[in-house]
Structure 1
Amino acid sequence: MEALLESLLSAPDQFLSSNGLKIDECFSEKIISTIKNHQSEEAFYMLDLGVVANLMDTWKRNLPMVQPFYAVKCNTHPDLLATMVAHGSSFDCASRSEIESILALGVSPDHIIYANPCKASSHIKYAAKVGVNLTTVDSLDEIEKIRKLHPKGSLLIRIKAPDESGSRWPMSSKYGALPEEVPQLLQAAQTAGLKVSGVAFHIGSKSRNSQAYKTAIQAAKAVFQEADRLCMPPMHVLNIGGGFVSDALCFEAAAEAVKTAVHRYFSEEERRSLTVIAEPGRFFAETAFTLATNIIGKRVRGEVRHYWLNEGFHGSMMRVDRAALVRSCISLKCMSNNNGNDNEKNPGMMVMHDGGARTFSSIVFGPTCDPIDKVSEGHQLPELEVNDWLVFRNMGAYTLSCSNNFNGFSSAKITYLTN
């Protein structure tokens, strides 16, 4: 196998994705060299920490006045978290375990927001004990819990963002106070003697409508005005949540929408005391991870090909957009599987799919016996064999963190770090 991979590395310009698109030469070299070093059929991740660093630079360049609180739930890989710490990120935690993991990295409690509007009492007690004071609420019952268990806590009123984001995973059905509920929440916090520091919202994960930030910020400003009407101490925190994607054009549009809305709805005097924070997860994690999977089984039914991978729905693909998964797929074919056919192009080599080769409608299954464990259906793939590879880019968001050991297939993945 080593000789085959060496020969491929000598001609990276022939690399094509399974969609017939050319693959970046540097990236293709990383894939091949990593599989070479892996020397196993087990599925594994590649984590490029350089991508994370570049994305932090992109964030600071486009949203310099917004402090990112990385959403730990998105991906908890220790090296990713450590990189975020090194580049000055704060953190959005939703449980005691997440808070513990971030504190263990040396992060100050002041740089953690307990951004879960409905918290277990024992977790609230722990947050109070370690000094994680900033938290979100969207109900009277939650305010009462904070009053009893964490009276020194500081609240952000989580509002329901206007439902116009077009996000892949909207949040509004589960969290967020309605406009008519806000005055009662503010009054309850005031009566309880709790500090209300500001307002939070989340337009939904993987949003493609940047204008949703403008509408949500306008709604947040209305809460600031209501607090003023109730003669409450001035609020100073605006939490614009997540929903950001790393696609350059989409992110730049979202950043511009945020900046425009903050300037439109908050006066210059208000902005001087305003702290704007956000809870990006996918933005930093998604494109930094690449997943390599091995084909462990095959079945031919006429013109349709069935393939089984050693990774699937219960592993890394539960929360992945299937259309995006297909777009990111790269097939890596080992030509040595051609049983010595000397007429085959580049015999004895491992090559990426030739965009001009014949393809077949294919169904790709995961390894478990669960019938819903299906990676893709109807995807056009070249003729592949057992021990060939399918590589998926952009696999860092809600993959490792959502995987499980169903059917006894381990969710533990070997992760290779690259620069």
Structure 2
Amino acid sequence: MSQIQDLLLQDTYKKHLQVGKQLKGKDSTCNGTDDLLSNVTIVKEGMSVVEFIQNKTDSLGPDNQDAFYVADLYDVVNKYHNFCKELSRVKPFYAVKCNSSKLVLQTLAILGTGFDCASKVEIDLVLSLGVPADDIVYANTCKQPSHIRHAAKNGVLKMTFDCESELLKVAENHPAAEMILRIVTNDTDSVSVLSKKFGACLPKCEGLLKLANILNLQVVGVSFHIGSKSKRPETFSWAIADARYVFDLGRKFGHAMRLLDIGGGFPGDDNFQPAFSEFTAVINKALDQYFPNKEEVEIIAEPGRYFVASAFTAALNIIGKKEDYFTDIDGKEQRKLSYYLNDGAFGTFRLDELRGKGVKLKPLKDYQHAQKHFPSILWGPCCTDHDIITEEVSLPELEIGDWIIFSNMGAYSLSVTSTFNGFHHPAVYYPLRKDKITITQKM
């Protein structure tokens, strides 16, 4: 815990706390992406996320019951330290696309992570935090030429490729780049199968390495990604073995191969199976076999959801309620309830994995002694039948104005939300318990 306390006393946080105190009691709505604060709230030492949500909802007036998030930066810090402990040879380069909340990025920057960026905007966001260009990998295998030139102008050298046309673009726009050849993996056991879009098959790697020589581009390493939310840790072992083959192939053709990027795919949700430790056991064994310590190879990874998924909790308000009846298999008439919430599938629940049967939720109000539960549907607020969060949940009878909290909402939620039908992005609150201050960030 002392490491977390020290983190919160860094100059970055002191600056925000000072600004927050100046803004307290004033109109502090954010008008731009560089503005971090919109409100400051004093919280007691040791307050839990659920306690904070309860206090927050109790204090809201009838005209301010919008959905919001609470981000536990302590959870992010703990995840970082656990990653470094479990994968001591691997430096994390956080995948900005997963959750670009600025205080999350600042926390990780203070801890010393690198960053996986996919665009000019993400590169600029990370550089604005004072992160050195060498701690950025431009990990997008299909880059806009103007973005490549922007990376060159700002000293970002490391970038991935997987085809001939990308090498030609980089040779024209950033000849000093340090290229990383991304290869395909067997990611069929993952929720997001990335190899159908990204990566070079092994038989194509020789030709790509030869072309890089012809274009006077240096290839410095190999990367892969086993897919998001993988269910098979062994995939890492197979991919690392393939990377070793391409590594040796690159050296054969005169490239100074010195970097291995094992990508992302690490679980971040509470109680996800297989557990993170099962993945790290496979990775460490494969690294010892194919990239032993005596060899001078820099090993990095691109974790996203691992750092942020469990750190964010969403609080949604019930704005509508409707009841229906259906006949069960025994011929009895049963009651079914529909609840309409103020965020949904066109907001922060846009990804399929955040909706449906596996969504982790509970009413904020204590209903543990409720005698009866009902099959329930949770709808979002938009004017379309596609705006549904889940229709497979059993709940006690709730009322308009009640709150429902959703756990594990930090990954690919805020970063992909839309404003369809004019519903704005939720605010994000950060309880900083050491200094008894909570910072609110607007998207």
Q: Provide the TM-score with structure 1 as the length reference.
A: 0.86
> d(CA) in 2 for partners of 1:112 and 1:268?
24
Equivalent residue in structure 1 for 2:301, among 254, 267, 278: 278
Indicate the residue corresponding to 1:78 in structure 2.
102
Does residue 200 of structure 1 match 2:223? yes
Indicate the residue corresponding to 2:56 in structure 1.
34
Equivalent residue in structure 1 for 2:411, among 373, 376, 397: 397
Identical-residue share of aligned pairs (%): 39
Indicate the residue corresponding to 1:253 in structure 2.
278
List gaps (5 residues or longer) in structure 2: 1-46, 326-334, 434-443
- Superposition deviation, residue 320 in structure 1: 4.9
CA-based RMSD: 1.8
Indicate the residue corresponding to 2:36 in structure 1.
none
Does residue 311 of structure 1 match 2:336? no
- Superposition deviation, residue 417 in structure 1: 3.0
* Matched ranges for 1:113-262 at <5 A: 113-164=137-188, 166-230=189-253, 232-246=254-268, 250-262=275-287
Indicate the residue corresponding to 1:374 in structure 2.
388
Instruction: State the one-letter code of the partner of 1:73.
Output: K
Indicate the residue corresponding to 1:16 in structure 2.
none
> d(CA) in 1 for partners of 2:407 and 2:352?
11
Q: Is the 8 A contact 1:204 1:242 kept in 2?
A: yes
> d(CA) in 1 for partners of 2:123 and 2:250?
30
C-alpha deviations, 1:301-338, integer Å up to 9, x for none?
12111110000011110115256775520113xxxxxx
> d(CA) in 2 for partners of 1:395 and 1:37?
23
> d(CA) in 1 for partners of 2:60 and 2:179?
48
Q: Is the 8 A contact 1:320 1:399 kept in 2?
A: no
* Number of residue pairs matched by the alignment: 374
Q: Provide the TM-score with structure 2 as the length reference.
A: 0.81
- Superposition deviation, residue 168 in structure 1: 1.2
Q: Is the 8 A contact 1:325 1:392 kept in 2?
A: no
Structure 2 CA distance for partners of 1:315 and 1:323, relative to 1, 3 Å:
closer
- Superposition deviation, residue 356 in structure 1: 5.0
Q: Is the 8 A contact 1:75 1:396 kept in 2?
A: yes
Does residue 294 of structure 1 match 2:317? yes
Equivalent residue in structure 2 for 1:61, among 61, 85, 97: 85
- Superposition deviation, residue 60 in structure 1: 1.1
> d(CA) in 1 for partners of 2:356 and 2:219?
40
- Superposition deviation, residue 297 in structure 1: 0.4
> d(CA) in 1 for partners of 2:358 and 2:314?
13
Q: Is the 8 A contact 1:314 1:405 kept in 2?
A: yes
Q: Is the 8 A contact 2:345 2:387 kept in 1?
A: yes
Q: Is the 8 A contact 1:329 1:393 kept in 2?
A: yes
> d(CA) in 2 for partners of 1:75 and 1:320?
17
C-alpha deviations, 1:188-243, integer Å up to 9, x for none?
1111111101000000111121111101001111101212333x133010000000
Divergent runs of 4+, >6 A: none
Q: Is the 8 A contact 1:330 1:352 kept in 2?
A: no
Indicate the residue corresponding to 1:22 in structure 2.
none
Does residue 331 of structure 1 match 2:363? yes
> d(CA) in 2 for partners of 1:364 and 1:264?
49
C-alpha deviations, 1:110-138, integer Å up to 9, x for none?
00000000000110010000000100000
Instruction: State the one-letter code of the partner of 1:128.
Output: A
Structure 2 CA distance for partners of 1:264 and 1:181, relative to 1, 3 Å:
same
- Superposition deviation, residue 142 in structure 1: 0.1
Equivalent residue in structure 2 for 1:265, among 279, 290, 300: 290
> d(CA) in 2 for partners of 1:237 and 1:38?
51
> d(CA) in 1 for partners of 2:362 and 2:402?
11
Structure 2 CA distance for partners of 1:256 and 1:38, relative to 1, 3 Å:
farther
Q: Is the 8 A contact 1:47 1:418 kept in 2?
A: no
